[in-house]
Chain A
Amino acid sequence: MDNNKPILYYKGFFNYTIVNKLLKELFELQQSGALNDLMSNKIQIVMVEMLENNYRYTSNKITSFNHAEFFPVFKILNENKFYRLIASNPIQHKDVNKLKGHLDKINDVGLPELRKWYKEILKNEIYSVKQSPGIGLIRIAKVARNKIKYSFQKIDNKFLYYTLEILINKK
């Protein structure tokens, strides 16, 4: 089924409560039979990591943002052979280089190397002071088994519009 209408959609700044609301909508899709358990599980993992990545760059960092057309967006499209998950949000110019380098490195390695890298970070971060071990983007690629597409569109001199896109194969 190719359908341009997203099966899940939200526009606005994300926080923990909004992500929970979207997760409940995903569970409803699963319960209605629109998604099987395995697919729902993969989408859930990728979706949460994408949204947590999304609000990591917006919460506490963006206090005034008046470009409504560049508000954060998350959507899931149901396409023939895969689900397409797309998350966009404003990001400050200063965050771009590090993020782009990280994404390129993730896209440059195959699954075995990705898994090895993921485990190395987990091992090194067990007792770090950071709340999260910083493996979210690696986990997205590892779970989806696909490369991450990304783009940065200039909004103004302070912000860019950052979009992450990942496919989850149905088989």
Chain B
Amino acid sequence: MENLYIESTEFTPKIHFDINNRKFELIGTSRPEDVVAFYESIIYKIEMYVNNILHNEKLEDFHFNLLFDLDYMNSASSKYILQILDYFKKLYQKKAKITVDWYYEDVDDQIFEDGEDLSDVIKIPFNLRPRN
């Protein structure tokens, strides 16, 4: 399976699904005009990847890092970010080491609260990290 790289635009985030280094990054602003079209191919690739790992890897030794560094996301995007996390949750529930780094600017920032809320919904702890 090949890596996936999508450059950011003014209203869509940069996506880097780095399979070799076991890292997924979503960075920038998420307000796509067609949120389904933007996220469906990304989620499809993640689904294929997770299913492959579930069947072929020893999950106790498997690690993967998800990094979210968002300036803004609309409510439609939060649903698709949860879908991404939900696929990795399948690995997390089978003892794989899944880390989620969620960056924010300020504790009063809504992105901080969004991180807390999404972590609570998906039941995976997030590392809430202030941006330097």
Chain B proximity of A46: nearest CB distance (Å): 10
Does more than half of chain B's interface fall in helix, strand or loop, or is it mixed? helix
Contact with B76, one of A42, A123, A132 (Cβ below 8 angstroms): A132
Does more than half of chain A's interface fall in helix, strand or loop, or is it mixed? helix
Q: A48 contacts which chain B residues (CB < 8 A)?
A: 31, 74
B108 adjacent to chain A (CB < 8 Å): yes
Chain A proximity of B32: nearest CB distance (Å): 9
Complex Cα distance A139/B75, Å? 8
Complex Cα distance A127/B35, Å? 14
Q: B11 contacts which chain A residues (CB < 8 A)?
A: 20, 23
A41 adjacent to chain B (CB < 8 Å): yes
Complex Cα distance A23/B74, Å? 13
Closest A-chain residue to B120, C-beta based? A119
Across the interface, do A45 and B82 meet the contact criterion of CB distance under 8 Å? no
Across the interface, do B74 and A52 meet the contact criterion of CB distance under 8 Å? yes
Complex Cα distance A150/B8, Å? 36
Complex Cα distance A132/B74, Å? 9
**Known: A41-B109, A115-B117. Contact between A126 and B82, CB under 8 A?**
yes
A122 adjacent to chain B (CB < 8 Å): yes
Chain B residues with a Cβ under 8 A of chain A:
10-11, 31, 33, 35-36, 71-72, 74-76, 78-79, 82-83, 86, 105-106, 108-111, 117-118, 120-121
| Contacts A42-B110, A119-B120, A132-B76 supplied; 5 other A-B pairs, CB < 8 Å | A16-B33, A45-B110, A125-B79, A126-B79, A143-B110
Which 7 pairs, one residue from A and one from B, show the smallest C-beta to C-beta distance?
Answer: A132-B76, A133-B79, A16-B33, A135-B75, A123-B121, A126-B82, A122-B121
Jot down 29 A-B pairs with beta carbons below 8 A, ordered by A: A16-B33, A20-B10, A23-B11, A38-B105, A38-B108, A38-B109, A41-B109, A41-B110, A41-B111, A48-B74, A49-B75, A52-B74, A115-B117, A118-B117, A119-B120, A119-B121, A122-B78, A122-B82, A122-B121, A125-B79, A126-B83, A128-B79, A131-B35, A131-B36, A131-B76, A132-B79, A133-B75, A133-B78, A135-B75
